[in-house]
Structure 1
Amino acid sequence: MPQIAATAPHLRIGFLPLIDAAPIVLAERLGFFAKQGLRVTLVPTGAWAALRDRLLFGALDASHLLYPMPVAAAVGLGQQPRGLVAACGLGRNGNTLTLSHAAAEELGLSQPPLSAVAFAELARRRIAAERKLRLAIVHAYSTHGYLLRDWLAGAGLDPDSDVALEVVPPPLVGHKLAAGHIDGFCAGEPWGSQAVLAGHGRIALGTGSIWPDHSEKLLAFTSETVTRDPGPAVAATAAVIEAAQWLDDPQNRSEATSAMAEVFPDLDPRAVGAAFAGRVPLPGGGWHSLPHPLRFAAATRPDPAQAEAWLERMRRWGHLPAEASDVAALSPFRNDIWNRAAARLGTPIPHVNSLPEA
């Protein structure tokens, strides 16, 4: 690992224990932050709201966040409007919808993907029996929540009245499912796979089947931090881009799995390895390959078009103040930090896929 001076810039970077935190975790482990002249302390946190608050109020210099969270911060959802800079994307795809055995058996689910129409039939039966299906999402303004809403609405369900949605931090969703407090959850891996391997449920689908190659998480800084001195943000972004490129090389999967398994010491390491391989476990053994697996490098350049797609979903479901302007909401998504970081590495601008309508 490169030697780093004690006087080098120091960043505190927060993350949630999810596989798509790997570009941050591996950038530190492989010495990419040090290579860019940074000292970095990684700060694991258990819930998205806590991570957001630590970033906004100065306990962190940068953080792993959900793609819609800078939009929410910019328009003041849950707090006064605060400016963030979405410096670097971290991954595409990577979430799974996991159901309880009882729900899966009633649906006749053996392997993904489950059709939304079949799920809607079950939801209507439960409504008739006055036992709405209870589904957990990881944050009120999460990619998971909006993707799940897309899926439900596509089958004619009203996500706000035909199912009961509740927010549960990712590390707790499996426990809630095992205890029978929820009928399913949509969360980032490895939590779905872990629930299956622990015998608590079955995976119904990956969210890439709802929106192929959707943006998922990002590395964000406060606007004040970047305005004061953009240099550390550029350096950190370069390190994360390099780690994302390293992660997409199949020859590195074993090392990546070992590194990330240390983030999840109490979980089955097979759940970690499966996420990198784009597979999910089946009940009783065997594996299913997802058609749209988690990928890293192509996601790194922040995409204002994808941010706009999330913004449209936030408006559709009444999560934005009527007076919130698109310009303000999308202001965190800029490419200057990424472009400067990529220039250090000789990385070209990636192809941007077309987007579905919200």
Structure 2
Amino acid sequence: MDRAPERPLRIGFVPLTDAAPLVIADALGLFARHGVPVVLSAEAGWAALRDKLAFGALDGAHLLGPLAIALAAGIGGLRRRLTVTAGLARNGNTIVLSPALASAIGGFAAPLDPRRFAEALHARAEEGLPPPTIAVVFPFSSHNYLLRHWLAAGGLDPDHDVRLVVVPPPRVARALADGAIEGFCVGEPWGSHAVATGAGRFALATADIWPDHPEKVLAFAEGLVEQDEASILAVTAAVIEAARWLDDSANRVEAGRILQERVFPELPRSTIVAALEGQVAAAQGAQPQGLRAPLRFLAASRPCPEEAAAWLAAMRRWGHAATADAKAIAPWRPDLWERAASRLSPRPEAGRPTRSPLLNTPLESDA
């Protein structure tokens, strides 16, 4: 990819709360402070963002971690060696069910036990009803693999006992309300939006499956680090600084205002702030529900190859990847994060990787 030094870096994102480090870095002028011009581009969904990043319409992106692995391994018809210089968030996804499906399960408190869900699906099958249609945001996503892990923990086969489909994040609440799907796993604030409007009932968060799991990453197009390393380090430093600002509780109301104005003009500010504060917004008249593991930004910022290996293990488990080759997680570059972080004062501490239930063995940091 050719990039003239004076041309702004084009960075894409999907409208989600965990895109906040990019949006805040732009709003607070942090990209400019670090000497790099950036233009952010909101994308409708992950397929469009992937293609633009792969074919040169974007220089970088807010990206699904497993999607960076899929591109590195050539899974799904495209092979691109991206560069991941930072994580953008931990946690932040919700699993929401339609009122009818929740009613069929009976009274339950979140987090929903997967065995209770399995019992309801077995009873449904005995009545001759088809498997429920559950949406994830992309085949190569944390949402897909964590949801599959939870379903399997209840004794279900995700490829037979449910019908998994892909719906872009901004469309899941409407799809649930219209009856096109009976549940979904999505990043906030779209789960909260569905609950607040009465379209769905909160069942659990993906952090109930893997506490403090990594979410999106900051990824750059193939070859860009070799062509313009200075700009990549500057963007990464600005994003780390924005993550630190976001984790300060004193800034959450202001962060909610910025995100509403720039990303979610159709949503109530209270829904966005709830996600930033580690809560799931509730239907009118009810109180928001606090999450076991809230959305976190700075603790996610150092990209951890050990955690990327957990996504690769899940991809292999479900037949989405045939390789255990280290090249699949080679895009993760904690060395570049270290160099970007060294520009900040005080220098942020690197977060530790967390133990993943998707692996049969502990991460190296647990040894």
1:300 aligns with 2:301: yes
Question: How far apart are residue 106 of structure 1 and its match?
Answer: 1.8
3-state DSSP of counterpart to 1:92: coil
What's the TM-score, normalizing by structure 2? 0.93
Counterpart in 1 of 2:237?
238
Identity of aligned residues (%): 51
1:82-133 CA-partner distances (Å, limit 9, x unpaired): 1101111000000000111111122234542111111111111222223211
- The reply to whether residue 277 of structure 1 matches residue 303 of structure 2 is no
Match of 1:4 in 2: none
* CA RMSD across the alignment: 1.5
SS at match of 2:254: helix
- Farther off after superposition, 71-80 or 19-28: 71-80
How many angstroms does 1:9 deviate by?
A: 5.5
Q: Which amino acid in the other structure matches residue 84 of structure 2?
A: A
Tell whether 2:333 aligns with 1:337: no
Secondary structure of 2:88's counterpart equals strand
Distance 1:333 1:86, change over 3 A: same
Cα distance in 2 for partners of 1:352, 1:330 equals 15
1:109, 1:281 → 2: CA distance?
Answer: 19
How far apart in 2 are the matches of 1:272 and 1:134?
27
Q: Does 1:116 align with 2:117?
A: no
Match runs of 1:15-94 below 5 Å: 15-94=13-92
SS of residue matched to 1:14 = strand
- Number of the residue aligned with 1:226: 225
Paired residue type of 2:278? G
Q: How big is the shift at 1:337?
A: 1.5
Structure 2 segments unaligned to the other structure (5+ residues)? 360-367
Q: Distance in 2 between matches of 1:22 and 1:192?
A: 17
- Cα separation, 1, equivalents of 2:252 and 2:289: 18
Gaps of 5+ in 1: 1-6
CA distance in 2, matches of 1:185, 1:356: 21
Query: CA separation in 2, counterparts of 1:174 and 1:80?
Result: 30
Counterpart check, 1:355 vs 2:356: yes
C-alpha distance in structure 2 between counterparts of 1:194 and 1:282, whole Å: 8
What secondary structure, in the 3-state scheme, does the structure 2 residue paired with 1:340 have?
helix
The amino acid across from 2:171 in the alignment is L
Aligned length: 351
2:268 — aligned with what? 268
Question: How big is the shift at 1:37?
Answer: 0.2
By how many angstroms is 1:222 displaced?
1.6
| Cα distance in 2, alignment partners of residues 226 and 100 from structure 1 | 44
Contact 1:91–1:295 (CA<8 Å) still a contact in 2? yes
Q: Is the 8 A contact 1:140 1:167 kept in 2?
A: yes
Is the deviation greater in 99-108 or in 26-35? 99-108
Aligned CA distance change for structure 1 residues 249 and 59 (closer, same or farther; 3 Å): same
Q: Provide Cα deviations, 1:112-159, integer angstroms capped at 9, x if missing partner.
A: 211111111111122222321110000011100000001000011000
| Superposed displacement of residue 328, structure 1 | 1.6
TM-superposition CA deviations, 1:15-56 (whole Å, max 9, x none): 000000000000000011011001111100011011011111
**Number of the residue aligned with 1:3:** none
CA contact (8 A) 1:139 1:145 kept: yes
Q: If the length of structure 1 is used for normalisation, what is the TM-score?
A: 0.95
What does residue 314 of structure 2 align with? 313
- Report which of the two has the higher share of strand: 1
Q: Is the 8 A contact 1:238 1:342 kept in 2?
A: yes
Q: Which amino acid aligns with 2:320?
A: H
Is 1:12 aligned with 2:10? yes
- Aligned pair in 2 of structure 1 residues 136, 56: CA closer, same or farther (>3 Å)? same
Where in structure 2 are the equivalents of 1:131-280 lying within 5 Å?
131-262=130-261, 263-280=263-280
Give the Cα separation in 2 of the matches to 1:328 and 1:251: 41
Q: Give the letter aligned to residue 279 of structure 2.
A: R
SS in 1 for 2:215: strand
Q: Measured at CA, do residues 292 and 109 of structure 1 come closer, stay the same or move farther in structure 2, by a change above 3 Å? A: farther
Aligned mates of 2:348, 2:291 — CA distance in 1: 28
**Alpha-carbon distance in structure 2 between the residues aligned to 1:55 and 1:231:** 19
Residue 237 of structure 1 deviates from its aligned partner by 0.3
Aligned equivalents of 1:354, 1:122: Cα separation in 2:
30
Contact kept, 8 Å, 2:312 with 2:324, in 1: the verdict is no
1:288 maps to 289
Give the aligned partner of residue 363 of structure 2.
Answer: none
Q: Contact (CA 8 Å) 1:136, 1:166: kept in 2 or not?
A: yes
Aligned-partner Cα distance in 2 for 1:250–1:216: 21
AA aligned to 2:316 is R
